[in-house]
Amino acid sequence: MSEWLVLTLAMAAVCAVVVLVTTLRHRRVGDDDDPTETPDVIEYMTMMIGVVYAIVLGLAIAGVWEARNAAEDHVRAEAQALHEITERVRVYPADVRDRVRADVDAYVGHVTTTEWKTMADHGELTGKGTKLLDRVRHAVTDYEPADEFEAQAYQPLLDQVMAADQARGARADSTEATMPAVVWFGLITGGLVTLGMIFALQIRRTAREMILAGLFSALIAFLLFLIWDFDAPYSRGVATSAELFLELFPHLAR
């Protein structure tokens, strides 16, 4: 089932629950009930709860968005370092150059297919990807420069291999969820409390108030879904894709 379909169903369900509870509550109150007699302290508490929860939601969204951007930066850094290796190795003899480039292509091809699916499904990298990157490292480090010109290119190549390895490690760390379980507990509990304050204000069953209550509940459901979706940078709807690799290695996209 599509994640956006799940979001639509969740928003509709929340709206339906709010409308249903409001309707049932309205039927149970007596004729002498006056909604205009809501104590001022309840209105003040409702306002403060809404403000505090809005701040918490904003911080949570900013946190997961920053984590998603960081995950994208890690992928871009890894792809760029590998691309630099294939370009800088051109000063080496043809057999060494072709072997290094073939090893890089094998690694990138594995990452963009098998490893990316493993990250999305299981939140971890593959052992084969590690071995393929080691082959790239060994292909670079095992060659002894034959002259001064090749020697000058040797250290920059090692630096790019190290940069790719560090970016791969950072990508592995980014596969984990950003939001701890205790934060999710606070977000969901806060949302329920915020929606519950609607009934503390003795909302009436007018069309205007029912629509506003439904839209407010749908907005909270949407924001929580947004946080959940961004919390997995490589696997959910708005995810970082392997296109960053394929932009620098277009021949592997065919």
Average pLDDT of the residues in 86-101: 90
Q: What pLDDT score was predicted for residue 47? A: 80
State the DSSP string of the chain: --HHHHHHHHHHHHHHHHHHHHHHHHHHS-TT--GGG--HHHHHHHHHHHHHHHHHHHHHHHHHHHHHHHHHHHHHHHHHHHHHHHHHGGGS-HHHHHHHHHHHHHHHHHIIIIIHHHHHHHSS--HHHHHHHHHHHHHHHTPPP-SHHHHHHHHHHHHHHHHHHHHHHHHHHHTS-SS-HHHHHHHHHHHHHHHHHHHHTT----HHHHHHHHHHHHHHHHHHHHHHHHTSTTTSSS---THHHHHH-GGG--
Q: What is the pLDDT of residues 184-228, one digit of tens each?
A: 888 888 888 887 777 666 666 667 777 777 788 888 888 888 888
Average pLDDT of the residues in 71-82: 91
In the predicted structure, residue 152 carries a pLDDT above the cut 90: no
Q: What pLDDT score was predicted for residue 116? A: 87
